[in-house]
Amino acid sequence: MNLDLRLPMGLMLSITGIILLSFGLATRTRPELYARSFGINANLWWGWVVFLVGLIVVGIGRRGQGRIEQRKQGKMMAKTPKRR
């Protein structure tokens, strides 16, 4: 199986980022939750960071998956007998 591990890892990070983002958006009107972080909505900001990193990792993984597919096709082309 030729699966680039960056794809599922990027998807996992993106989903985690979406969960953090949604919690940060849902609780932005409750300042008592963010008193310990000096009033900064850490869930919202870290949700964005984790989501964007996940998208970058997915993009890199898709590029790597494309290279794997090209190598497979190149090997298949090399194995086919040439006609004269």
Give the number of other Cβ atoms within 10 Å of residue 63's Cβ: 11
Q: What is the pLDDT of residues 27-73, one digit of tens each?
A: 988 888 888 888 888 999 999 999 999 999 999 988 877 777 777 77
Question: What confidence score (pLDDT) does residue 79 get?
Answer: 66
pLDDT of residue 11: 95
- The number of CA neighbours under 13 Å toward the Cβ of 14 is 12
For residue 35, which phi and psi values (nearest 5 degrees)? -65, -35
Q: Which amino acid is at 33?
A: L
* Separation between Cα atoms, residue 78 and residue 16, nearest integer Å: 42
What are the domain boundaries of the chain? 6-79
pLDDT of residue 30: 87
> What pLDDT shows up at residue 29?
86
Q: Looking up tokens 């900001």, which residue turns up?
A: 45
Q: What is the pLDDT of residue 76?
A: 65
